[in-house]
C-alpha cells in the first residue's frame, strides 16, 4: 500500500471473520502503529476542545483501549461498560440486541455522578445496539452525554441514526461500505 496518511489507511480488513460474509474491520493494526494510534486519539478528541468532559466511558472491549488513552489525555477518569458478569461491584444492567439473540451490558452503579458530562467511546458503530445500551446505562445514573465518538461507522447498518434518534451527537473518523 502507498504511504499511510489517514486513520482509515491503518485499518485492516479480514474477510469472513467471525462468520462467512462479514468483512471484519480490524483496528489492531491501527493501535499497533504509533503514528496511526496517536492520529486516531488526536482526531477523536479534536471536536471536544474547550468542552467540559468529566468522565470518559469505554465500551468493551476495544473502547477500553481508546477510552483509556483519551481519558489520560483529558486528565479525567475512565469508566468501563462491560458484558454481564465481569464487573465486581454493584451494577445496573441493560439488555441489547445482537445479530443473533441478546446480550447484557453493565456499569458500576457508583461510576458516574448525576450531572457529570460524559464522552462515550468505542472503535466501531454497526447497528448501534451496543452504544445504545451504554447510553441508557449512563443516563440511568444521571450522566449527561456530551457525544459518542467512534473510529469507524458502517453506514449500511444504521447505527448512527439509532444514536441520533436517541438525541446523541455522534462523531466518526471514517466509514466502510458493507457489513
Ligand atoms: O453497533 P453494534 O452492532 O452494537 O456493534 C458494535 C460493537 O461490536 C464490536 O464489539 P463486539 O460486540 O465484537 O465485542 P468485543 O469488542 O468485546 O469483541 C464493536 O467493538 C462494538 O462494540
Ligand atoms: N464488520 C465489523 N468489523 C469489526 N467489528 C464489528 N462489529 C460489528 N461488525 C463489525
pLDDT at 59 over 90: yes
At residue 178, the pLDDT reads: 80
Task: State the residue for C-alpha cell 458530562.
Answer: 117
For ligand 1, pick from 61, 84, 99, 161 the residue to mutate: most ligand atoms within 8 Å of CB. 61
Contact assessment for residue 143 and residue 163, using Cβ atoms and an 8 Å cutoff: no
Q: How far apart are CA 96 and CA 48, in angstroms?
A: 28
User: What number is the average pLDDT over the span 160-179?
Assistant: 96
User: What number is the average pLDDT over the span 123-130?
Assistant: 97
Long-range contacts of 9-18 (CB under 8 A, 24+ apart): 9/36, 10/36, 10/39, 10/40, 11/151, 11/152, 11/174, 11/176, 13/176
Give yes or no for residue 126 CB within 6 A of ligand 2.
Answer: yes
The percent of residues in the chain predicted with pLDDT above 90, rounded, is 94
ipTM of this complex prediction, to 2 decimal places: 0.97
Give, using CA atoms, the residue closest to atom 1 of ligand 2: 24
Give the 3-state secondary structure of residue 95.
strand
Average pLDDT of the chain?
96
Q: In the chain, what is the straight-line distance between the N-terminal and C-terminal CA atoms, in Å?
A: 23
pLDDT at 179 over 90: no
Between 98 and 116, whose confidence is greater? Answer: 116
Other CB atoms within 10 A of residue 32 CB: 11
Q: Could you check whether the bond before residue 61 is cis, i.e. omega within 30 degrees of 0?
A: yes
Q: How far is the CA of 24 from the centre of ligand 2 (A)?
A: 5
Rg (CA), the chain: 16
pTM, two decimals, is 0.97
Residue 35 annotated in active site: no
The percent of residues in the chain predicted with pLDDT above 70, rounded, is 99
* Nearest Cα to Cα of residue 142 among 120, 113, 171: 113
At residue 173, the pLDDT reads: 98
Give yes or no for residue 59 CB within 6 A of ligand 1.
Answer: yes
At residue 95, the pLDDT reads: 97
Confidence label for 52 from pLDDT (cuts 50, 70 and 90)? very high
Structural domains of the chain in order of their starting residue, each with its CATH number? 51-175 (3.40.50.2020)
Confidence label for 98 from pLDDT (cuts 50, 70 and 90)? confident
Q: How far is the CA of 50 from the centre of ligand 2 (A)?
A: 32
Phi/psi at 84 (5° precision): -50, 135
Give yes or no for residue 162 CB within 6 A of ligand 2.
Answer: no
Confidence label for 67 from pLDDT (cuts 50, 70 and 90)? very high
Q: How far apart are CA 37 and CA 20, in angstroms?
A: 29
**Can you read off the three cell numbers belonging to residue 80?**
468501563
Confidence label for 133 from pLDDT (cuts 50, 70 and 90)? very high
Give, using CA atoms, the residue closest to atom 9 of ligand 2: 126
User: What number is the average pLDDT over the span 40-58?
Assistant: 97
At residue 2, the pLDDT reads: 77
Amino acid at each position: 500500500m502507498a504511504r499511510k496518511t489517514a486513520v482509515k489507511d491503518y485499518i485492516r480488513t479480514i474477510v469472513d471473520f467471525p462468520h462467512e460474509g462479514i468483512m471484519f474491520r480490524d483496528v489492531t493494526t491501527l493501535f499497533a502503529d504509533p503514528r496511526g494510534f496517536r492520529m486516531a486519539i488526536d482526531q477523536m478528541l479534536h471536536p471536544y476542545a474547550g468542552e467540559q468532559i468529566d468522565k470518559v466511558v469505554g465500551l468493551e472491549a476495544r473502547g477500553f483501549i481508546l477510552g483509556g488513552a483519551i481519558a489520560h489525555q483529558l486528565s479525567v477518569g475512565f469508566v468501563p461498560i462491560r458484558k454481564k458478569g465481569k464487573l465486581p461491584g454493584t451494577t445496573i444492567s441493560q439488555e441489547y440486541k445482537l445479530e443473533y439473540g441478546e446480550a447484557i451490558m453493565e456499569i458500576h452503579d457508583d461510576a458516574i455522578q448525576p450531572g457529570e458530562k460524559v464522552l462515550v467511546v468505542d472503535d466501531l458503530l454497526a447497528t448501534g445496539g451496543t452504544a445504545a445500551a451504554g447510553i441508557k446505562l449512563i443516563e440511568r445514573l444521571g450522566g449527561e452525554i456530551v457525544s459518542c465518538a467512534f473510529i469507524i461507522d458502517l453506514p449500511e447498518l444504521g447505527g448512527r441514526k439509532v444514536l441520533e434518534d436517541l438525541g446523541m451527537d455522534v462523531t466518526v473518523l471514517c466509514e466502510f461500505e458493507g457489513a
